[in-house]
Structure 1
Amino acid sequence: MADDTKSPEQTNGAQQGAPEAAPQDTPEAAEIDARDLELVQLKEETAALKDRLLRTAADMDNLRKRAEREKAEATLYAATNFARDLLSVSDNMQRALAALPAESREKADEATKNLLAGIEMTERELLKVFNRYNIRKVETVGAKFDPNFHQALFELPTKEYPPGTVVQEMQSGFAIGDRCLRPAMVGVAKAEG
C-alpha cells in the first residue's frame, strides 16, 4: 500500500517544483500575447486620437474667438474712411462759427443769428453721430503729449504747464475706438531756458 502522506519538504517542493512550461510555449499563450499587444496598440491609438480631438477642439475654439474679435473690429472700424472724410465737414462748421466774433453775433440781424444757430445744431448732431459710432475727439489742452494721438506743430516755452504738456490746439483730433482717426495738431510746452 502506498503512503499518500507527504512530508512538508515534498509539498513545498511540489509547489516550488520544477518550472512549468512558459506561457509562450502554448498556442493559447501566444494568442493571449498577440491580443495584449493589439490591446496596447489600440490604447495608444485611442490616446493619440483623443489628443488630436482635444487639439482640434481647442483650435476650433480659438478660431471662433478670433473670428468674433475680427468681426467686432471690422464693425467698429468699418466706417473709418467715411468718418475721416466727414472730419473736414466738422472742421468747416467750426471755422464758420469762429469766423464771426461774439460781439458781432450780438449785433447780427435775426437771419444771421438763425444761420449760426443752425450751424451749431448741425455740428452738435454730427458729433452725436460720431459718438454713436465710437468716434470721439482727442483730449488736447492740458493733456500729456501722446505721439499716437497728437501731432506737435511747435513748442512753446512756458512755466504754466510742465514740459511735454499740450498747451494749444490748432486742429481737433479724432479717434475711433482705440485707433487714431486723425491726430490733433497741437502746440507743446517746453521748459523756459
Structure 2
Amino acid sequence: MTETENPNTNPAEEPIDLPAAELSIEDRLATLEAERDEMRNNWMRAEAEMANLRARTKREVEDARLFAVQKFAKDVVEVAENLKRGLTSLPPRAEGEAEIIGKLRDGFEGIERSFVATLERNGVQTDDPTGKLFDPNLHQAMSELETVEHPPATVVQAWTQAWTLNGRLLRPAMVVVAKAPAEQA
C-alpha cells in the first residue's frame, strides 16, 4: 500500500480529479452545473421529506389528542346505555300514579339528557339507525326479519345505538335488519 492510498475508501468510488488544464471551460461549467442540479435535487427531496414528517407528526398529535380518551369513552357509553335501559324499563306514565314515581322518572330523564349532552360536548355522538340502510361500518346485525313493510337491508329495530368518538366508531349499533320474504310455494 502506498502512502497516498486510503485503506477506508474504495478506489472505484473516488472521483477522478482531472487537472483543470485538461478540461475545457465548457466541460468544467457542465460538470459544475450537473453537481449543482444534483445538490438542488437532494435539497428538494430533503425539504419534501421534512414537510411530510411535519404533517405526519401534526396528524399523529391531533389523533392522540382526539382519541386519548377512547377507552374511557367506551366505558362511559356503557353507563349511558344502562341508564337508557333503566328509563325504558320504567312503566309508562299513568293517571293516578304516585307523585314520587313521576318525580323520579323526571329526575332520571333529566340526568340522562344532561349526561348525553355532556358526552356530545366532548365529541361522543350517538345515532339511532332505525329506518336507515344497514351500514356494516356502524351496525352489527343481530337478526334478520322477513318483511314487505321495509325495503331489504333497512334497519327495522335498534337494540342499541351506534356511538362514535370524533367520528371514530366506539360501539356499533346492534340492529335487526329487514330482508325480503322467501317466495311462498
Match of 2:11 in 1: none
- 1:59 equivalent in alignment to 2:49: yes
User: 1:74 deviation in Å?
Assistant: 1.8
Match of 1:15 in 2: none
Deviates more, 1:119-128 or 1:148-157: 119-128
Q: Structure 1 residue aligned with 2:125, among 113, 127, 136? A: 136
Structure 1, residues 96-131: CA drift from partner, whole Å, max 9, x if none? 211222234x54433332222222122112211221
Q: Structure 2 residue aligned with 1:42, among 25, 32, 47? A: 32
- 1:79 equivalent in alignment to 2:38: no
Match of 1:20 in 2: none
Match of 2:86 in 1: 96
Q: Judge conservation of contact 1:76–1:133 (CA < 8 Å) in 2.
A: no
Which sections of structure 2, spanning at least 5 residues, go unmatched? Answer: 1-19
Which sections of structure 1, spanning at least 5 residues, go unmatched? Answer: 1-29
Q: What letter corresponds to residue 146 of structure 2 in structure 1?
A: P
SS in 2 for 1:102: coil
CA distance 1:63–1:109, change in 2 (3 Å): same
User: 1:147 deviation in Å?
Assistant: 1.2
User: 1:165 deviation in Å?
Assistant: 0.4
User: 1:172 deviation in Å?
Assistant: 1.7
Match of 1:11 in 2: none
Match of 1:27 in 2: none
Q: How many residues align?
A: 163
SS in 2 for 1:117: helix
SS in 2 for 1:159: coil
Q: How does 1:94-133 map to 2 (within 5 A)?
A: 94-104=84-94, 106-133=95-122
Aligned-pair identity (%): 38
User: 1:54 deviation in Å?
Assistant: 0.8
Q: Judge conservation of contact 1:153–1:187 (CA < 8 Å) in 2.
A: yes
